[in-house]
């Protein structure tokens, strides 16, 4: 008993707000850090500090786990940068087998990730000078050799960019052996710089922009025709389509082409293959909503003319298509039936009002709302709300996922900007309401902004379990991976899930079956 008490004391820390918190195992901390990764400063942590923390935790974990997590992050959670960091660090500490080679091959899913990985390796190993990569890890080299044979001429040409490390440099460094004569011909073209220019929306629009036009009307018509041609070609990728909905709309394409765009957006197979973060749909949705509002704030100019002449009347169809796409993406989420009472609580505090990356308009706040609304759409008996200084439940329809996020977004500020997540549990206690599942979408930096009350979430949860709902479960959806959590995980029916992808719900399903996030990662084949 004394040893158990000592263990608990050692596991208690404080979070970034000075409130009582609990440490995670190195594997759990690495998991939460990786699947919430962004290469920019966050509210509580500078990017350099985050990178150093990542390095330190990697050395505390088994190499096989680090490798599986890298592949899991790339293939399941759709992360691109952090898997490169993981395999680069893994190559520093592990040798003697082909683990690094297998992980390298597993995370390079696009041709440009070959050069991106080499650039990451150069930076993290602080290599400089003309021979900065001449001591490349042999196992990483083997993994990249395998990766080179996974791509065709189009894929190489699409990502053969004028970057510090070019595809030609990578080919000379890695020395891949072509799998057949056709592949060798592609490698020869990389060397000679004669890869065929790929047909992509970027290259097509770029070429069009270089031409001279007799009038603005002629230029507008040329771009309209080009967008229609791109749509008809079906070579406009799903992500490119999402990012260009507003451009397509403002180009004034025909209604028939708008219908084609909508059909593609809502196509179940295309949604599944696209593997988009849920918040990508929200970003596209907001771009369309914001298009008309610009008319009222901009003066008469080229942008305004485009907005006035474009097909803004079709915006409703595009918005509906995005809503259908999100609903399709939620179909495979395992929700809960009418007998299971679910409470979804979204953290809208100040620390959640930070962008997921330097170039993004999407906030952590939005990510939490999107995940909550996706899950709400799959539950029969569910309440949703938001907390800051106070806690408030908000009634919204179940199936309008993107519109529901906007409804919450419009009410930003109503509950203040502290992180008083304990109020969610206190409210259940005060009202003596039984819930089966309580889920908090948060950065986990919970505290009590009025500490004289003496209320803290870990104590309130224990009281709630004892006095009201003995079988209730509490799930923390960690959206930032700051390492400390407000309750002790895997005790008293407290569970932890992390990440920005809808794949977090696969982890939730695993937890319901008695497994854990780590067990899902350890299933990954490398």
The predicted-structure confidence for 250-283, as pLDDT tens digits, reads as follows 999 999 999 999 999 999 999 999 999 999 999 9
- Say what percent of the chain tops pLDDT 70: 92
- Which residues have CB under 8 Å from 493's CB, separation 6+? 465, 471, 472, 473, 474
Lowest mean pLDDT among 5-19, 159-173, 310-324: 5-19
- What pLDDT does residue 3 have? 31
Find the mean pLDDT for residues 78-94: 95
- Domain 341-521: which topology? Rossmann fold (3.40.50)
A 10 A CB-CB count for 441 gives 29
> In this predicted model, which residue has the larger pLDDT, 19 or 243?
243
Which residues in 26-47 are b (16+ Cβ under 10 Å) and which e?
A: bbbbbbbbbbbbbeeebbbbee
Q: In which order are the strands placed within the sheet that holds 12-14? A: 12-14, 20-23, 484-485
Helix H or strand E encompassing 311: none
The pair of structure tokens assigned to 170 is: 């990578």
- What pLDDT does residue 7 have? 36
Range among 9-13, 76-80, 464-468 with highest mean pLDDT value: 464-468
The pLDDT confidence band at residue 293, using thresholds 50, 70 and 90, is low
Find the mean pLDDT for residues 139-145: 97
Find the mean pLDDT for residues 239-255: 94
How far apart are the C-alpha atoms of 386 and 379, rounded to whole Å? Answer: 18
Q: Is the pLDDT of residue 9 over 70?
A: no
The pLDDT confidence band at residue 328, using thresholds 50, 70 and 90, is very high
- What pLDDT does residue 295 have? 45
The domain limits of the chain are 2-192, 201-234+236-330, 341-521
Check if the beta carbon of residue 505 is closer than 8 Å to that of residue 334.
Answer: yes
- What pLDDT does residue 508 have? 93
Residues 338-367 have pLDDT tens digits of 999 999 999 999 999 988 887 888 999 999
- Which residues have CB under 8 Å from 440's CB, separation 6+? 345, 347, 421, 424, 474, 475, 476, 477
Q: For 355-511, where are the E strands, in sequence order?
A: 381-387, 391-393, 437-442, 473-478, 484-485, 494-498
How far apart are the C-alpha atoms of 114 and 285, rounded to whole Å? Answer: 33
How far apart are the C-alpha atoms of 358 and 38, rounded to whole Å? Answer: 9
Lowest mean pLDDT among 261-275, 282-296, 301-315, 388-402: 301-315
Q: In the block, which residue shows the tokens 């959640």?
A: 352
Q: In which order are the strands placed within the sheet that holds 341-347? A: 391-393, 381-387, 341-347, 437-442, 473-478, 494-498
Q: For 388-447, where are the E strands, in sequence order?
A: 391-393, 437-442
- Which residues have CB under 8 Å from 260's CB, separation 6+? 231, 232
Q: Is the pLDDT of residue 246 over 90?
A: yes
Q: In the block, which residue shows the tokens 């949705």?
A: 285
pTM across the whole model = 0.89
- What pLDDT does residue 40 have? 63
Angle of the 302-309 helix axis to the 278-297 helix axis, nearest 10: 110
Size of the chain, expressed as the number of residues it contains: 526
Q: How many helices (H) and strands (E) does the chain have?
A: 26, 9
> In this predicted model, which residue has the larger pLDDT, 355 or 38?
355
How far, CA to CA in Å, does 240 sit from each of 7, 33, 231? 51, 28, 11
Considering the chain, what is the average pLDDT of its residues?
90
Check if the beta carbon of residue 182 is closer than 8 Å to that of residue 193.
Answer: no
Angle of the 112-124 helix axis to the 81-93 helix axis, nearest 10: 50
Residues 158-194 have pLDDT tens digits of 999 889 999 999 999 999 999 999 999 999 999 999 9
Helix H or strand E encompassing 310: none
- What pLDDT does residue 46 have? 82
- What pLDDT does residue 307 have? 44
Find the mean pLDDT for residues 110-137: 86
- What pLDDT does residue 312 have? 67
- What pLDDT does residue 60 have? 96
How far apart are the C-alpha atoms of 213 and 277, rounded to whole Å? Answer: 39
The pLDDT confidence band at residue 300, using thresholds 50, 70 and 90, is very low
- The SS3 assignment for 79 reads coil
- What pLDDT does residue 311 have? 55
Q: For 398-472, where are the E strands, in sequence order?
A: 437-442
The pLDDT confidence band at residue 297, using thresholds 50, 70 and 90, is very low
Q: Is the pLDDT of residue 459 over 80?
A: yes
Q: Is the pLDDT of residue 125 over 70?
A: yes
């Amino acid at each position: 008993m004394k040893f158990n008490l000592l263990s608990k004391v050692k596991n208690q820390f404080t979070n970034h707000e000075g409130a009582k918190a609990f440490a995670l195992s190195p594997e759990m901390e690495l998991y939460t850090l990786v699947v919430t990764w962004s290469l920019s400063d966050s509210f509580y942590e500078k990017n350099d500090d985050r990178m150093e923390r990542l390095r330190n935790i990697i050395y505390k974990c088994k190499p096989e786990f680090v490798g599986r997590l890298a592949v899991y992050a790339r293939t399941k959670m759709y992360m691109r940068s952090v898997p490169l960091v993981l395999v680069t660090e893994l190559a520093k500490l592990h040798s003697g087998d082909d683990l690094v080679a297998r992980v390298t091959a597993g995370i390079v899913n696009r041709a440009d990730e070959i050069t991106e990985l080499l650039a990451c390796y150069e930076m993290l190993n602080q290599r400089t000078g003309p021979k900065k990569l001449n001591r490349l890890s042999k196992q990483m080299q083997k993994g990249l050799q395998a990766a080179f044979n996974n791509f065709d001429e189009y894929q190489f040409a699409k990502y053969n960019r004028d970057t510090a490390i070019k595809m030609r440099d990578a080919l000379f460094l890695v020395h891949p052996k072509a799998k057949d004569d056709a592949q060798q011909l592609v490698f020869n073209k990389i060397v000679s710089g004669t890869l065929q220019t790929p047909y992509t929306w970027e290259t097509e629009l770029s070429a069009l922009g270089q031409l001279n036009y007799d009038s603005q009307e002629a230029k507008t018509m040329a771009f309209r025709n080009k967008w229609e041609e791109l749509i008809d070609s079906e070579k406009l990728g799903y992500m490119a389509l999402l990012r260009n909905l507003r451009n397509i709309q403002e180009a004034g394409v025909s209604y028939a082409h708008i219908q084609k765009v909508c059909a593609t957006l809502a196509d179940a197979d295309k949604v599944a293959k696209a593997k988009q973060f849920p918040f990508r749909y929200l970003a596209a949705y907001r771009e369309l909503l914001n298009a008309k509002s610009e008319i009222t704030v901009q003066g008469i100019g080229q942008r305004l003319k485009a907005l006035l002449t474009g097909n803004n009347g079709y915006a409703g169809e595009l918005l509906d298509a995005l809503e259908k796409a999100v609903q399709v993406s939620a179909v495979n989420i395992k929700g809960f039936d009418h007998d299971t009472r679910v409470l979804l609580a979204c953290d809208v505090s100040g620390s959640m009002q930070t962008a997921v990356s330097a170039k993004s308009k999407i906030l952590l706040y939005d990510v939490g709302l999107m995940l909550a609304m996706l899950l709400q759409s799959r539950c029969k008996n569910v309440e949703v709300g938001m907390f800051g200084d106070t806690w408030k439940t908000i009634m919204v329809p179940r199936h309008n996922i993107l519109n529901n996020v906007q409804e919450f977004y419009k009410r930003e500020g109503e509950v203040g900007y502290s992180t008083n997540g304990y109020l969610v549990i206190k409210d259940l206690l005060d009202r003596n309401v039984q819930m089966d599942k309580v889920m908090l979408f948060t950065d986990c930096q919970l505290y009590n902004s009025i500490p004289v009350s003496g209320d803290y979430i870990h104590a309130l949860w224990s009281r709630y379990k004892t006095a009201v709902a003995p079988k209730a479960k509490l799930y923390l959806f960690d959206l930032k991976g700051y390492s400390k959590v407000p309750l002790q995980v895997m005790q008293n029916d407290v569970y932890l899930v992390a990440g920005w992808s809808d794949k977090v719900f696969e982890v939730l399903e695993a937890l319901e079956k008695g497994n854990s996030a780590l067990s899902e990662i350890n299933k990954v084949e490398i």
